[in-house]
Amino acid sequence: MSLVLLLNIVCTQQVVNAFFYEQYAKVIVFAGLNLVLFPIAVWIYRRERNVE
């Protein structure tokens, strides 16, 4: 889970960086990655909850 959060931070940073350099394709890739990370986080949470 903390790995997911770390990836979130990295992706957000990359989005802002790419945006600054006007590399818009890169922005979309990292924004998409960030969006995908949320369902992964939910999935990890559910898995942990069901174990308990």
Partner 1 sequence: MSMHEEEKKTKSTVPYDEDNYTHNIRKDNERKLDRRSFLKTMVGAAGVFAVSTLPWGTIAAKHLINPSKRTYPVSKIADLDLMKVGDAVEFAYPGEHDSALLVCLSDNEFKAYHNACTHLKCPVFWSKEKEELVCPCHHGLFDVRTGKPTAGPPKRPLPEIELSVEKGSVYATGVKKYEAQL
Q: Could you list the residues that contact partner 1 (CB under 8 A)?
A: 1-2, 4-5, 8-9, 11-12, 15-19, 21-25, 27-28, 30-32, 34-35, 37-38, 40-42, 44-45, 48-49, 52
| Distant-in-sequence, close-in-space partners of 24: CB < 8 Å, separation ≥ 6 | 18
| Distant-in-sequence, close-in-space partners of 31: CB < 8 Å, separation ≥ 6 | 11, 15
| Nearest distance in Å: CB 52, partner 1 | 7
| Nearest distance in Å: CB 17, partner 1 | 8
